[in-house]
Structure 1
Amino acid sequence: MSVQQVRNREAGASMSGMERLSLRVSEMINHPIAQLRRSVMIHKLDTDGEREWEEVMGVLSETNELDMTINDDGTITLKWEMIADEDRQIESDEFEAEEEPAPF
């Protein structure tokens, strides 16, 4: 087993079920193919707790930019539109930090 695999296993052991599920769903949404298609199908694993699954699905359903469809087989399809460059600029301007003078 490689050092990276050991670190990943140790990190997974210290994560809560909610953190693991949130990370997995986030990785699926941020995958380059999902970003290209602007859609992704997510599914509940046997290791996902019911409470955690419901909480993550609740957060996703409350996200205005996402269109959520519950499929007959229990999977969830998420779709979203591309954000216009103007909207991205506005968002980044809101969080622009003020520059402080150097302390020296």
Structure 2
Amino acid sequence: MSNASRPSKPAQRQEMSGIERLGLRVSSMINHPVAQIQRWVTIHRLDTDGDREWEEVMGLLNETDGIDMTFNDDESVTLKWEASPDQVGAAVVMEPVEEPAPF
């Protein structure tokens, strides 16, 4: 009963750094199923992305083997990559199924 009468300690919220936020956003965009199928994604720089954070993440991507980077005029970056050996031939083509008319 003594536990119920004590005020609970508020959980501490850890703020993400700018580089963590940007890294998470870029990672999410790269790992999105559509990006994985088409094997490219365009990353737009947001107003909240600081110069240091943007340069750091773009530098890491530039050092990554298998990623081609294109810096666009609108300050966005397009990333393209080839299918990894375990992805080659992994695409499944779904044939349309004709459904009977509902009437």
Counterpart in the other structure of 1:17: 18
Structure whose alpha-carbon radius of gyration is higher: 2
Q: Partner of 2:68 in structure 1?
A: 67
Residue of structure 1 in register with 2:51 after alignment: 50
Q: How many Å separate the matches in 1 of 2:40 and 2:83?
A: 11
* Deviation beyond 6 Å, 4+ runs, structure 1: none
In the TM superposition, 1:23-102 aligns within 5 A as 23-85=24-86
TM-score by length of 2: 0.69
Q: Which runs of 5+ in 2 are unaligned?
A: 1-11, 87-103
CA RMSD of aligned residues (A): 1.8
Q: CA deviation at 1:72?
A: 1.2
Percent of pairs with identical residues: 65
1:64 deviation in Å? 1.3
TM-aligned CA deviation for residue 83 of structure 1 = 0.6
Q: Which amino acid aligns with 1:28?
A: M
SS in 2 for 1:41: strand
SS in 2 for 1:72: coil
- Which residue is equivalent to 2:7? none
Q: Secondary structure at the match of 1:46?
A: coil
Q: 1:29-62 CA distances to partner (integer Å, 9 max, x unpaired)?
A: 0000000000000011001111000000000011
Which runs of 5 or more structure 1 residues have no equivalent in the other structure?
1-9, 86-104
> Which residue identity lines up with residue 32 of structure 2 in the other structure?
H
The aligned counterpart of 2:97 is none
CA distance in 2 between counterparts of 1:59 and 1:49 reads 16
The structure with the largest helix share of the pair is: 1
Paired amino acid for 1:45: L
State the secondary structure of the residue aligned to 2:79.
strand
**What TM-score does the superposition give when structure 1 sets the normalisation length?**
0.68
